[in-house]
């Protein structure tokens, strides 16, 4: 008990609180600017933490991390351009709501779902970290492959008009992720002998091109009033009755996010897509999803923010960083003399508890700071649309270049932007492209590792473990369900057409 009180004391110093407020606010703004995501935010703030004490430094970084995951949703909703890849799934329902003039409601749901997901995952982190870490260890390559296949089902769900077009884009994304070094043999693929391409294409430049740049091209190409203002951003929190009605969606999204976050090598973007795909099958309002249904925003935002808390589970329980972001946090811990590892919880209990407290305060700070941050975006977006878009182009390129410092990434962003614009004009949805790009590398390497482990035995691959068999059956069920429901839909619509025909002939 003493140790918990001491930890709370550590977290409630004025330095730590100031770091939380500054970090969270900066995180929301950085996350909201397309191109600048969690990794760029942490890279900017990492050097500042060297001179701080451990808790203050970590508080700053956790604030930036959680804030940036939430901030991505603001631009996703306002201008159909996710600020970070993690919020790509928020555009599916967020932007249609904006077009319908329900902008305040959309932002309110995104904010509330982010807060809910963040806090629920903190609770899970505090109470179930060791158990969940032990369970997550059972997710080897084959189980992760099955899980990622499930997430790929999301491609079908978000290709509204034509599943074929969606699949084409998904495969383009998947293919783009294969350029560069082969993850198993290290040999170069699809580089056409160019050394620059051997470092591969990374996610941020592609996302920036596919969403931010193509959206800008679309806006400038559209004939209706190029000087049109971006709609006023207001924030309206859902009323108690409203969120009570959707509490199952909130809990489901948060639990999916918390679990995916505990697995290594998946991350918040994958969690959001898996959660969205699940909501499309299970939400009572699923037929409205993709047309401006708050359940879609909830699915995406509750799960991606739930990853923030639970990504610390493998880090704290096993010392294994779950993704790039937690790897950077582990680096920051090492600088402050804390070595993450299996004994961290025992040796540094007070620090760990203080981190838990910080995580909860960060989520509360995020809820409070959401209003002034959205106010700031409203102020920025009050300018002529041309200036806003020009600034977004600039930030997009800064973000693309900062990730690796590689000039190739600027070219990639520009080329993807032009290609994406052409695809959009031809009616191809772009979200599947990003889904393919996000999930592709892990899908490929987990499949190939699994086959190496099984010596190329495909049957053994599918019957590897109870978890993998359950996941593969679920996948088969999903596919049968989708085919079945589209068949009945087709039969119904053709029956209607026949009836209409016979009505007309009468």
Contacts with another protein, residue ranges (CB under 8 A): 39, 42-43, 46-47, 50, 136-141, 180-186, 188, 195, 198-200, 264-265, 314, 318-322, 324, 327-328, 331-332, 334-335, 337, 339-342, 383, 387, 403-406, 445, 449, 452-453
Which one-letter DSSP state was computed for residue 181?
A: E
Tokens linked to 263? 């697995």
Please name the residues in contact with 215: beta carbons below 8 A apart, sequence gap of 6 or more.
Answer: 79, 80, 81
Q: Specify the 3-state DSSP secondary structure of 189.
A: strand
Q: How far apart are CA 72 and CA 434, in angstroms?
A: 15
* CB 111, CB 237: distance < 8 Å: yes
The CA-atom distances, in angstroms, between 20 and each of 28, 46, 334, 393, 459 are 12, 14, 20, 29, 51
Nearest to 357 by CA among 149, 81, 123: 123
Q: How far apart are CA 80 and CA 234, in angstroms?
A: 16
Q: How far apart are CA 338 and CA 470, in angstroms?
A: 39
Q: Specify the 3-state DSSP secondary structure of 188.
A: strand
CB of 390 to another protein, least distance (A): 10
Q: How far apart are CA 448 and CA 441, in angstroms?
A: 11
Pure H helices in 202-293: 203-207, 214-221, 240-245, 247-262, 268-282
The CA-atom distances, in angstroms, between 46 and each of 50, 61, 195, 398 are 7, 7, 31, 18
* CB 403, CB 40: distance < 8 Å: yes
User: Which long-range contacts link 383-391 to residues 24+ away (Cβ below 8 Å)?
Assistant: 384/227, 385/219, 385/226, 385/227, 385/228, 385/229, 385/230, 386/226, 386/227, 388/79, 388/230, 389/216, 389/219, 389/220
b/e map 80-108, b = 16+ CB within 10 Å: bbbbbbbbbbbbbbbbbbbeeebbbbbbb
Instruction: Tell me the β-bridge partners of 181.
Output: 188
The residue to which tokens 């410092």 are assigned: 405
């Amino acid at each position: 008990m003493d140790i918990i009180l001491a930890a709370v004391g550590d977290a409630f110093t004025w330095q730590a609180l100031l770091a939380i407020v500054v970090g969270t606010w900066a995180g929301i703004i950085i996350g909201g600017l397309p191109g600048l995501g969690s990794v760029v935010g942490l890279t900017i703030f990492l050097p500042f933490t060297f001179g701080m004490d451990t808790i203050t430094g970590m508080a700053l970084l956790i604030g930036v991390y959680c804030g940036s995951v939430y901030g991505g949703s603001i631009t996703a909703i306002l201008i159909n351009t996710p600020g970070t890849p993690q919020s790509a799934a928020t555009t599916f329902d967020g932007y249609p709501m904006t077009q319908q003039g329900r902008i305040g409601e959309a932002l309110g749901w995104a904010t509330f779902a982010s807060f809910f997901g963040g806090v629920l995952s903190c609770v899970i982190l505090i109470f179930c970290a060791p158990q969940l870490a032990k369970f997550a260890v059972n997710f080897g390559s084959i189980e992760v492959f099955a899980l990622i296949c499930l997430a790929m089902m999301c491609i079908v769900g978000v290709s509204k008009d034509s599943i074929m077009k969606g699949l084409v884009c998904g495969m383009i994304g998947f293919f783009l992720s294969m350029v560069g070094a082969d993850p198993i043999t290290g040999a170069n693929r699809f580089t056409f002998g160019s050394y620059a391409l051997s470092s591969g294409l990374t996610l941020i430049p592609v996302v920036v091109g596919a969403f931010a740049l193509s959206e800008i091209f679309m806006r400038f190409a559209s004939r209706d009033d190029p000087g049109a203002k971006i709609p006023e951003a207001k924030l309206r929190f859902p009323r108690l009755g409203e969120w009570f009605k959707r509490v199952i969606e909130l809990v489901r999204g948060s639990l999916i996010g918390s679990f995916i976050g505990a697995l290594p090598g998946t991350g918040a973007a994958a969690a959001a897509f898996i959660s969205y795909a699940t909501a499309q099958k299970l939400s009572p309002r699923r037929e409205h999803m993709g047309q401006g249904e708050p359940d879609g925003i909830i699915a995406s935002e509750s799960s991606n923010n739930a990853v923030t808390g639970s990504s610390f589970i493998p880090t704290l329980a096993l010392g294994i960083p779950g993704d790039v972001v937690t790897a950077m946090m582990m680096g920051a811990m090492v600088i402050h003399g804390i070595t993450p590892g299996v004994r961290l919880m025992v040796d540094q209990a007070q620090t760990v508890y203080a981190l838990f407290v910080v995580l909860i305060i960060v989520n509360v700070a995020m809820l409070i700071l959401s209003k002034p941050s959205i106010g700031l975006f409203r102020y920025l977006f009050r300018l002529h649309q041309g200036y806003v878009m020009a600034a977004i182009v600039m930030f997009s390129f800064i973000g693309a270049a900062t990730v690796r410092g590689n000039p190739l990434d600027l070219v990639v962003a520009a080329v993807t932007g032009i290609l994406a614009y052409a695809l959009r004009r031809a009616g191809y949805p772009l979200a599947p492209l990003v889904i393919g790009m996000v999930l592709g590398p892990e899908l490929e390497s987990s499949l190939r590792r699994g086959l190496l482990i099984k010596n190329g035995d495909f049957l053994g691959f599918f019957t590897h473990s109870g978890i993998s068999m359950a996941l593969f059956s679920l996948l088969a069920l999903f596919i049968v369900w989708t085919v079945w429901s589209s068949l009945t839909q087709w039969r119904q619509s053709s029956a209607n057409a026949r009836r209409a025909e016979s009505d007309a002939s009468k």
